[in-house]
Amino acid sequence: MIRRLVLDVLKPHQPSVVEVSEALSHLEGVEGVNIIINEIDQQVENAKVIVAGISISFEDIKKKLEEFGATIHSIDEVAAGKRIVEEVKTPQDSSARM
């Protein structure tokens, strides 16, 4: 069962992020939605969409986003299982960025 999804999404300006977040929040298994706009172009917005819940259906999320004309560019994080495991920084994380 998926508990959190972090998606890189390209969406048109309309509908607004308010409308999209409300629609996603009403899907079965979804307990919360955050949408952060990273970039605004003339035609589209690039957004980070974070969905959290007890049992999230990726297919339902994808379908709802597509209904709004949005496209998923990438799945940046998935948390699944009985609980969410938070990322832990390790020495390899800082050396990989050099």
Model confidence, pTM: 0.87
Which of 36, 33, 32 minimizes the C-alpha distance to 9?
36
State residue 66's pLDDT score.
Answer: 98
Which of 87, 90, 92 minimizes the C-alpha distance to 76?
87
State residue 95's pLDDT score.
Answer: 64
State residue 98's pLDDT score.
Answer: 53
Note whether 38 and 48 are within 8 A (CB): yes
State residue 86's pLDDT score.
Answer: 85
Instruction: CATH number for 2-81: choose from 1.10.10.10, 1.10.287.610, 3.30.70.1340, 3.40.50.150.
Output: 3.30.70.1340
Cα gap 61→72, rounded to integer Å: 10
Residues of the chain with pLDDT under 70: 95-98
**Could you tell me the CA-to-CA distances from 79 to 10, 18, 48, 56, 98 in Å, in that order?**
22, 24, 16, 10, 27
